[in-house]
Amino acid sequence: MRFDDCPAADFFDGGGVPGDAAEAVTPPPAIPEVVDVHDLDWKAIHAGLNPGGIRGRMQPILAAMDALLASDAWPSLLFDSFRSSRSDRAIEVGEIDDTDPLWFIGDLHGDLLALEAALALIARDTPPDRPPPNIVFLGDLFDDYGFPVEVVLRVFELITAHPTRIAVVTGNHDEALGHDGRKFVATVSPADFSEALNASPDDDGLQRCGMTAIRLFRDAPRALFFPDGLLVAHGGFPLVDLHPFLLETGEWNDERCLTDFVWTRAHPRARRKIPNRVSRGCQFGHEDFADFCAVSRRLDRPVTHMVRGHDHVEDRFEVYEAYAATPVLTTVALSRRLARESFGTYERVPTIARWIRGSLPQVYRLNIPADIVREVYPDAVESPAAQPAATGAATTTEVTSSAGVVSGTSDPPESAADSALDANALAEAEPSASPQ
List the CATH number of the domain containing 293.
3.60.21.10
CA angle 266, 166, 326 (to 5 degrees): 30
Q: What is the mean pLDDT of residues 337-363?
A: 95
Q: CB of 406 within 8 A of CB of 426?
A: yes
Q: Give the domain extent around 407.
A: 3-429
Selection from 170, 144, 175, 176 nearest residue 155 by Cα: 170
Q: Over 70: is that where the pLDDT of 169 sits? A: yes
Number of domains present in the structure of the chain:
1
Mean pLDDT of the 280-298 span? 96
Candidates 158, 195, 162; CA nearest to 176 is 195
pLDDT tops 90 at residue 212: yes
The answer on pLDDT for 413 being more than 50 is no
pLDDT band at 397 (very low <50, low <70, confident <90, very high): very low
**Residue 275 falls inside a structural domain:** yes
Q: Is pLDDT of 392 > 80?
A: no
Q: Is 436 a domain residue? A: no
Looking at the predicted structure, is the pLDDT value of residue 210 above 90?
yes
Measuring CA to CA, which residue among 83, 344, 396, 105 is closest to residue 219? 83
Distance CA 22, CA 240 (A): 15
Is residue 177 a contact partner of residue 213, using CB atoms and an 8 Å limit? yes
- For residues 391-396, give the mean pLDDT: 32
pLDDT 10s digits, 68-92: 999 877 668 999 999 999 999 999 9
For residues 269-279, give the mean pLDDT: 93
- Is 434 a domain residue? no
Distance CA 321, CA 106 (A): 20
Domain membership of residue 116 (yes or no) is yes
Q: What is the pLDDT of residue 9?
A: 37
Whether the link from the prior residue into 190 is cis, omega within 30° of 0, is yes
Q: pLDDT-based confidence at 343, cuts 50/70/90?
A: confident
For residue 98, what pLDDT band results from cuts at 50, 70 and 90?
confident
Q: Is the pLDDT of residue 149 over 50?
A: yes
For position 5, what pLDDT does the model report? 36
pLDDT mean across residues, the chain = 85
Confidence of residue 17 (pLDDT cuts 50, 70, 90): low
Is the pLDDT reported for residue 255 higher than 70? yes
Check pLDDT > 70 for residue 100: yes
> Percent of the chain having pLDDT more than 70?
81
For residue 75, whether the previous peptide bond is cis, meaning omega lies within 30 degrees of 0, is yes
Q: What's residue 380's pLDDT?
A: 45
pLDDT, position 190: 96
Percent of the chain topping pLDDT 90: 74
First to last CA, the chain: 38
Nearest to 224 by CA among 28, 107, 102, 82: 82
For residues 272 and 288, the answer to whether their CB atoms sit within 8 Å is: yes
Question: Is 18's pLDDT higher than 50?
Answer: no
Contact at 8 Å (CB) between 351 and 366? Answer: yes
Q: Is the pLDDT of residue 257 over 90?
A: yes
- Does the pLDDT value for residue 396 go beyond 80? no
User: Which residues contact residue 324 at a Cβ distance below 8 angstroms, ignoring those fewer than 6 apart?
Assistant: 28
pLDDT at 7 over 90: no
206 within a domain of the structure (yes/no): yes
Q: What is the pLDDT of residue 37?
A: 98
Specify if 9 maps to a domain: yes
Better pLDDT: 272 or 406: 272
**How many Å separate Cα 22 from the centre of its chain?**
30
Q: Is the dihedral of CA 308, 314, 317, 320 positive or negative?
A: negative
pLDDT in tens, 188-203: 999 999 999 999 999 9
The whole-angstrom separation of Cα 241 and Cα 6 is: 8
Would 435 be classed as within a structural domain? no
Q: Give CA–CA dist 243/402, Å, rounded.
A: 30
Q: What is the mean pLDDT of residues 389-396?
A: 33
